[in-house]
Amino acid sequence: MVTRHAIRFAGSGFPLLLREHGEPITYFKNGGSVCRTIMAIIERDVDVPSETGDQVAQAIIVRVLDNATSGISALEIDDGRDKVSLPMRIGDTPQQRNITRRMDDANGVVRFMVR
C-alpha cells in the first residue's frame, strides 16, 4: 500500500536530499554503451558479511530515485547485468562497477549494492 508519506517523500523529500547530498553517477543498462547520468546518494565502505559469515567484504550502497528518467526504475534494474560508473572514494575518478544486488525500493527510492 502506498502511503501519503511515500508519495510526498518521492516527490519532494528525496529530490531535496539528492540536491544536498547527491553525486552524479552514470547508469549503463545491461552493461551496454547506452547510458544516462543521474544523481545518487552513495554510502561507501559498507561491511557486508560473506554467506558463511566468517569474512567481511566492502561494498557500496547507492540510492537513486525510482524513476526511469531521473533515476533508475525498480522495474528496469537488472542486478548482475547493469553497471554504474561512480567514484569509489570521494574525489577519485569514476570507475564502472556491476550492480550486484537490488536491495529494496520503498518510498520512491531504489537502493542497490555495488562492488
- Nearest alpha-carbon partner for 72 in 44, 101, 39: 39
Residues 6+ away with beta carbon under 8 Å from 19: 39
48-68 residue pLDDT tens: 877 776 666 778 999 999 999
Distance of alpha carbon 29 from alpha carbon 56, whole angstroms: 29
| pLDDT at res. 57 | 75
pLDDT at 2 over 80: no
User: pLDDT tens across 72-105, in order?
Assistant: 999 999 988 999 999 999 999 999 999 999 999 9
Domain limits of the chain? 4-114
pTM higher than 0.85 for the full model? yes
State the pLDDT at residue 9: 80
